[in-house]
Structure 1
Amino acid sequence: MLDSDLTVDLAIVGGGFTGNAAALEAARRGATVAMFEAKTIGHGGSGRNVGLVNAGLWLPPEQVIEQMGAKAGQRLMGFLADAPARVWALIQNHGIDCEAKRNGTLHLAHSPAGQRDLARRHRQGRAMGWPVALLDASETARRTGSTAFHGALFDPRAGTIQPLSYVMGIARAATAAGAHLHEGSRVSHIRRHQGTWHLTVNGHHVRAANLLLATNAYFDGIEMGFQPRIVAVSYFQIATAPMPQAMRDRILRRGEGCWDTHTVMSSFRTDAAGRFIIGGIGNLEGPGRDIHLGWARRKLKQTFPELADLPFEYDWRGRIAMTSDHIPKLVRFGPDALAAFGYSGRGIGPGTTFGTLAAVALLENDDTVLPVMPVDAHDERLTTLREAYYESGAILTHAVAARG
């Protein structure tokens, strides 16, 4: 907790993947850096993440290029194709104990139409030089232990982690490199004065030459004349009791992380203790809790019948920062300042990459290192209405899905 005034080269607001990766890189380069987290490290969407270390974006390559243009789209996809390798390198180099499984991910086809979509993604990915493989229903059943899917797209670059352990590991590495990380330190006011950023934190005064706003979906109303414009969508996770060994030998026995092609998607993976973790869009802390829990139970019964009666031990939810075009944003909201947000459910690889490179760009005054060029402003319309739409849509879908 910050308890005195401070002057640094780089101030960072937000203690998730982006903020901690930036703090580590800045300290590694010899800069003085302070990160301020209102709660605890990983309290937000980073620690409450699905745990899938994906390569690329949720969007297929051709759509990224259509929206961004060939040069910018290929640049971003190139950086994010390498994002899992950056994550694995951090884990190895800093000895981060986070249940890392570099065994790939499976994007699962829930229907014939879903398999056709995966075939298009496979074709586009191969054209980009990505080592993805399209699996048929038989191979998918062999890998997942379920006959519920029509096929899958396998990405060997990807994998799974325990996300809170990962972000805390980055924080420890940043501290060891000399960064000052302050939990329980809410930034209440930010202003630019005489060429320097001035932050009010726990009533103390912080001066910074450079500023990175890394709150993503957890911006809490800092008085600063700028607010990241996103649609905040809840995504929950439910962990079962550990599976018996016989089930562990059949279900996701290679340890791939999975998500499906449903419009209201779901995800699942296993952890080191053998728990099966199922996730979906929705807020377990809202009025739809019982509906979401009921859906998860039915989904397990439908997809993995042998898990139908396995007790639920834990549940949690985080917020995802969505943008209309599902492209991450860097906004230069003032001199020597950047805001990074909008990973649209792909926080681990992009957050690590954007945070690391944002620190470099700010300290060296060099935007050419960034995955996307900063914009002066980004707006999202009808955010409150769209957030309500996502949650109500998830409740309605989960109320009727996986029945029968």
Structure 2
Amino acid sequence: MSELRQQCLWEHITARPPHTAALASAVKADVCVIGGGITGLCAAIELLEQGKRVVLLDASEIGTGGSGRNVGLVNAGTWIPPDEVEQTLGSAVGGRLNTVLGGAPAEVFALIERYGIDCQAHNDGTLHMAHNANGVADLKSRCEQWQRRGADVELLTGAQCIDYCGTEKIEAALLDRRAGTINPMAYTRGLGAAVQRLGGQVFQHSPVLGLEQQAGGWLVKTARGEVNADKVLISTGAYTEGDWCNLRGQFFRGYYYQVASKPLDSAAADAVLKHGQGSWDTRLVLSSIRRDDDGRLLLGSMGRVDNKPAWFIRRWADRIQTHYFPQLGKIDWEMHWTGCIDFTPDHLMRLFEPAPGLVSVTGYNGRGNTTGTVVGKALAQFLLHGQAGKLPLPFCADKPVSAAGLRTGVYETGFSLYHAGQVLRVVL
């Protein structure tokens, strides 16, 4: 059995981008984008296509945050069902958000095609898998809600469900044909390459230390340089650090981990998710399941394992795999990694305009691949034309999450206890 190492699979299999130096001088831009994830990169592309000068700053490297470390599901909609979205936001605003995010997967795949991004993109749908009767009822409701809105979704049961999922442990699965899967690191780095080809200036290893409003614009400071920009977009998500803005108070941080096997090559492995969908189950502490193009099995769940021993991680992965796919026998797990998610109490994102010419977003709640793509473009359009009514959501007032740090700790403790119960075969 090989050593189980802490490394992100997507980073391991994706070519590194061309080197870009840290900002070490004073530069000017029409828009300074802070954060080199999917949101910031898509915003930069939209601005550059409209002829604007763009400087993009990233505290680390393109893709090393949540944009490049996630499961790679290209999901439609929000975490919560569409009826609940409209109940929370009102029919007009909620209906617009459902429409925008329902069409978001198509925006992702169109962008991939337009810029020739090689990222294992598959527009074959996703599967939301019911693990018990309550899960079946939830999926039936979600299916009806989306079908009422004209979405191409179908509830699979019986032999068809087993055929798609590759397991008899799932009673029903919601197939969303709008959705799909990608290698998220390759998608993010591909967006970064597009920004550079369009003439954008990208500076990595350039964390922002200060943000000051000046006459007619903004001054963005780093350790060795500064950007004088007419406007600024902050898109740092769960990886926001420092006291130069108040964005950290608008969400609480959560974690998500994944474990990847070595490539599997057998008839039994080929039957697992054989139609190409990525999936996740209806457990309160969910498990995500997908394959990559090399045949690896990827399992994931809420919480973190970067602070846990290898034996614990192996036993957790073995427990999930043997429950759903016992026909695979003993799996050789190769690597594991953990990423951060910016959560909000209502599971809905928030858009902010703290001052004229300054916009920000947070609270994707684990739906960043699609949400970041359409929100980045929408915020860029707002900076270009100032039409707030065309945004997916209205800007909201400063809305700090109470006891954000405590929420993070409580959730993580709960996830760790649940996973310990899985390892000890007390719960599943």
Provide the TM-score with structure 1 as the length reference: 0.97
Following the alignment from structure 2 to structure 1, what is the Cα–Cα distance between the partners of residues 96 and 310? 40
Hey, what does 1:54 align to over in structure 2? 75
Following the alignment from structure 2 to structure 1, what is the Cα–Cα distance between the partners of residues 274 and 246? 50
- Select which of 171, 174, 181 maps to 2:202: 181
Alignment check: 8 A CA contact 2:249 2:404 kept: no
How far residue 341 of structure 1 moved from its aligned partner, in angstroms, is 1.1
Q: Output the amino acid matched with 1:358.
A: L
Hey, what does 1:223 align to over in structure 2? 244
Following the alignment from structure 1 to structure 2, what is the Cα–Cα distance between the partners of residues 224 and 101? 37
Deviation digits for residues 373-401 of structure 1, max 9, x if unmatched?
Answer: 11131211111111111111111111123
Report the number of matched residues: 404
| Structure 1 gap ranges (5+) | none
How far residue 309 of structure 1 moved from its aligned partner, in angstroms, is 1.3
- Select which of 43, 48, 52 maps to 1:22: 43
Alignment check: 8 A CA contact 1:288 1:395 kept: no
Hey, what does 2:136 align to over in structure 1? 115
Alignment check: 8 A CA contact 1:226 1:333 kept: no
How far residue 348 of structure 1 moved from its aligned partner, in angstroms, is 0.3
- Select which of 404, 415, 418 maps to 1:383: 404
Following the alignment from structure 2 to structure 1, what is the Cα–Cα distance between the partners of residues 354 and 90? 24
Alignment check: 8 A CA contact 1:65 1:73 kept: yes
Change (3 A) 1:293 1:394: farther
Q: Output the amino acid matched with 1:246.
A: A
Deviation digits for residues 5-64 of structure 1, max 9, x if unmatched?
Answer: 111111111111101111111111110001100100011111101100000011011111
Following the alignment from structure 1 to structure 2, what is the Cα–Cα distance between the partners of residues 286 and 381? 26
- Select which of 309, 317, 339 maps to 2:330: 309
Give the 5 Å matches for 1:272-287.
Answer: 272-287=293-308
Alignment check: 8 A CA contact 2:240 2:247 kept: no
SS of residue in 2 equivalent to 1:186: coil
Hey, what does 1:328 align to over in structure 2? 349
Matched, 1:236 2:257: yes
Deviation digits for residues 236-282 of structure 1, max 9, x if unmatched?
Answer: 11110111132342111111010110000110110010001111011
Following the alignment from structure 1 to structure 2, what is the Cα–Cα distance between the partners of residues 140 and 225? 46
Deviation digits for residues 126-161 of structure 1, max 9, x if unmatched?
Answer: 111111101114221111111111101100010000
Following the alignment from structure 2 to structure 1, what is the Cα–Cα distance between the partners of residues 210 and 100? 33
Following the alignment from structure 1 to structure 2, what is the Cα–Cα distance between the partners of residues 56 and 328? 12
- Select which of 2, 14, 24 maps to 1:3: 24
Taking every aligned residue pair, what percent have the same amino acid on both sides? 37
Following the alignment from structure 1 to structure 2, what is the Cα–Cα distance between the partners of residues 288 and 326? 31
- Select which of 181, 202, 205 maps to 2:226: 205
- Select which of 413, 423, 427 maps to 1:392: 413
Hey, what does 2:124 align to over in structure 1? 103
Hey, what does 2:19 align to over in structure 1? none
- Select which of 395, 401, 404 maps to 2:422: 401
Alignment check: 8 A CA contact 2:318 2:331 kept: no
| Structure 2 gap ranges (5+) | 1-21
Provide the TM-score with structure 2 as the length reference: 0.92
SS of residue in 1 equivalent to 2:209: strand
Alignment check: 8 A CA contact 1:137 1:152 kept: no
SS of residue in 2 equivalent to 1:35: strand
Following the alignment from structure 2 to structure 1, what is the Cα–Cα distance between the partners of residues 418 and 313? 9
Following the alignment from structure 1 to structure 2, what is the Cα–Cα distance between the partners of residues 222 and 287? 30
Alignment check: 8 A CA contact 2:104 2:371 kept: yes
Hey, what does 1:355 align to over in structure 2? 376
Deviation digits for residues 101-124 of structure 1, max 9, x if unmatched?
Answer: 111000000101100110011111
Q: Output the amino acid matched with 2:413.
A: S
Following the alignment from structure 1 to structure 2, what is the Cα–Cα distance between the partners of residues 367 and 290? 51
How far residue 350 of structure 1 moved from its aligned partner, in angstroms, is 0.2
SS of residue in 2 equivalent to 1:121: helix
Following the alignment from structure 1 to structure 2, what is the Cα–Cα distance between the partners of residues 388 and 2? 35
Following the alignment from structure 2 to structure 1, what is the Cα–Cα distance between the partners of residues 290 and 90? 34
Deviation digits for residues 344-363 of structure 1, max 9, x if unmatched?
Answer: 01110001111111111012
SS of residue in 2 equivalent to 1:46: helix
Following the alignment from structure 1 to structure 2, what is the Cα–Cα distance between the partners of residues 223 and 347? 23
- Select which of 145, 150, 159 maps to 1:124: 145
SS of residue in 1 equivalent to 2:69: coil
Change (3 A) 1:354 1:345: same
Deviation digits for residues 60-83 of structure 1, max 9, x if unmatched?
Answer: 111111100000000011100110
Alignment check: 8 A CA contact 2:23 2:226 kept: no
